Structure 1
Amino acid sequence: MAKIQINNVVVLNNPALFTSPLQFEITFDCTENLEDDLEWKLTYVGCAESQAYDQVLDTIYVGPVPEGRHMFVFQADAPDSSKIPDKDLIGATVVLITCSYHNQEFIRVGYFVNNDYESEEMKENPPEKPDISLVHRNIMADQPRVTRFKINWGDNPKGGEGENGEGCQNEMEAGEGSAVQDTDSMLEPLPSTFKDVHSMDESSNVEMEMAF
């Protein structure tokens, strides 16, 4: 059983300019004291065709984590637009929140993001070179996709990595579902909108686009 359950994620500062920081208020429950850090990572998918354009906006470490309910705000600077192909600056993409323990990712929350101009005139006649200062970002806060992964929560990181590494991959290849349904992880205010995407671990950008 997972020792960490995300209870809720609230998307803050949304909608906003593309250049504004991203902010997520995360509430999670810890069912047992954890002596080591949780690694939280925020990733922006720059291009659906290649993970080479993915940007890790920030990584934070939280720990040790006592039993109980915890809340924090995960804030990161906007992605570097110069590292995103011009054709992918406008339109739909994905932002991912992941959490790992002992280098094992056990949960992933993905949100669709729509980037566009506010002006109808610019929407209809966009400049050849996107003007990022006028682009607005809208995170689809009510349409998250959640995937949970079974990991080894034991005290031996090396053993945990090995067991999760090959075992989890083999389960996914065999279609046995290492990613489990997560309709209960965020109880409020979205108990029925969370959906599970089983094959997000290697091609999250493509799978999320397909789900959209």
Structure 2
Amino acid sequence: MSVVTLLGVNVANNPAKFTDKYLFEITFECLEPLEKDLEWKLTYVGSAQSDSHDQELDSLLVGPIPVGVNKFAFEANPPDTKLIPDDELLGVTVILLTCAYDGREFVRVGYYVNNEYESEELQNDPPAKPIIEKIKRNVLAEKPRVTRFNIKWDSEATAPAEFPPEQPEADLVADEEEYGAEELAEEEEAELAEEAAAVGEATGADKDAAMEGVEGENGAVDEEELSDDGSVDIEGESEDDLEEEELDGDAMETDEMEVDKPAVPAAGAPSGAPAPQADAMVH
């Protein structure tokens, strides 16, 4: 079980100009006191062909973290256009919002971003050299892809097993408080219906066998030492007892974000959890 659970992310300034800063309102819950800060990062994928064009737009240390539900604002700089190929400036790309504890990434939220000219005239007849100031971006916040990783927190008891045991399909159903859990349940229900139709008149034993082998993915990144500079203090009293809350989330997929350019879904913004919150203050 994760000590920190992401409850919601709201893209505050969306849509916006390509050159505007990114602004996120992030809500998460902490179940027990933490010895270190959380490190949040925003990465812009500059090209679907090579990760050499990826840019870390900004990073932020948040802490100390009180027990309970916390909320803070994360502002990140726009990407440097000089590091992006001209033929990759327009169209669909990806941004990745990640959080790590003690150098170990435990959650990653991927968003598709559609970059296009503001005017229909330029959209129909784009110039050979992109006009940056006339490009607008739209973060497709309604369909985030959320990937979670089991990591070690402050105690050895929280360390994931070296060889995780097989997990039944029920383990893939996220808690109601997890960001994106609601749509995951709908997707699994549809998948089960398809599997049932494929099984047809098979025996009960055959049906059980057909549903075996569905496993959740666990993982962790390499450890790094975090700096104490640039911390964000979260003020607010700790809460021992929290009511179970339901988050209106969007799609959660446990696969990591693909950078191939997909069809563009409708834009929107996932909502946060309506729980007692401690606001963050940036020094």
Q: Normalization by structure 1: what TM-score?
A: 0.82
- Residues 13-68 of structure 1 show CA distances to partners (whole Å, capped at 9, x for unaligned) of 10000000001100000000111011101111111111111110111111221211
Q: State yes or no: 1:41 paired with 2:41.
A: yes
Query: Partner residue of 2:213?
Result: none
After TM superposition, the structure 1 = structure 2 runs for residues 181-192 of structure 1, keeping only pairs within 5 Å, are 182=174, 184=176, 185-186=178-179, 187-190=246-249
Kindly report structure 1 stretches of 4+ aligned residues shifted beyond 2 Å: 180-184, 186-190, 208-212
| Gap change, CA 1:45 and 1:9, over 3 Å in 2 | same
Greater strand percent: which structure?
1
Q: With structure 2 as the length reference, what TM-score do the two structures score?
A: 0.62
- Mapped to 2, the partners of 1:111 and 1:183 lie a distance apart of 22
Kindly indicate whether residue 27 of structure 2 is the aligned counterpart of residue 60 of structure 1: no
1:59 and 1:152 mapped to 2: Cα distance?
22
**Amino acid corresponding to residue 194 of structure 1 in structure 2:** A
What SS is found at the alignment partner of 2:59? strand
**Number of the residue aligned with 1:103:** 103
Instruction: Give yes or no for contact 2:11–2:25 (8 Å, CA) kept in 1.
Output: yes
Consecutive unaligned residues of structure 1, counting only runs of 5 or more, are none
The structure with the greater share of residues assigned to helix is 1
Query: Secondary structure, in 3 states, of the residue corresponding to 1:42?
Result: strand
Determine the structure 2 residue equivalent to 1:194.
251
Q: Which runs of 5 or more residues in structure 2 are unaligned?
A: 180-245, 265-283
Counterpart-to-counterpart distance in 1, 2:97 and 2:30: 18
Structure showing greater relative contact order (alpha-carbon pairs closer than 8 Å, 6 or more residues apart)? 2
**Counterpart contact for 1:109–1:144, Cα < 8 Å:** yes
Does 2:147 correspond to 1:147?
yes
The residue number in structure 2 matching 1:73 is 73
The separation in 2 between residues aligned to 1:197 and 1:86, in whole angstroms, is 32
Q: 1:77 to 1:29 in 2, by over 3 A?
A: same
Corresponding residue of 1:7: 7
The percent identity for this pair of structures is: 46
The CA deviation string for residues 131-186 of structure 1, in whole angstroms up to 9 with x for no partner, is 01000000011111100011111347xxx9xx77x95xx87xxxx9xxx6657412
Please, what is the CA RMSD of the aligned residues?
A: 2.8
Task: Give secondary structure in 2 for the equivalent of 1:48.
Answer: coil
* C-alpha spacing 1:84/1:61, structure 2 compared with 1 (3 Å): same
Q: Say if 1:125 and 1:209 are closer, same or farther in 2 by CA, change over 3 A.
A: closer
Partner SS for 1:151: coil
Matched letter for residue 48 of structure 2: A
1:210 Cα deviation (Å)?
5.7
- How many Å separate the matches in 1 of 2:23 and 2:95? 12
What letter corresponds to residue 132 of structure 1 in structure 2?
I
- In 2: Cα distance, 1:150 partner to 1:210 partner: 28
Q: Distance in 1 between matches of 2:174 and 2:46?
A: 26
CA contact (8 A) 2:148 2:254 kept: no
Measure the CA separation in 2 of the matches of 1:132 and 1:182: 41
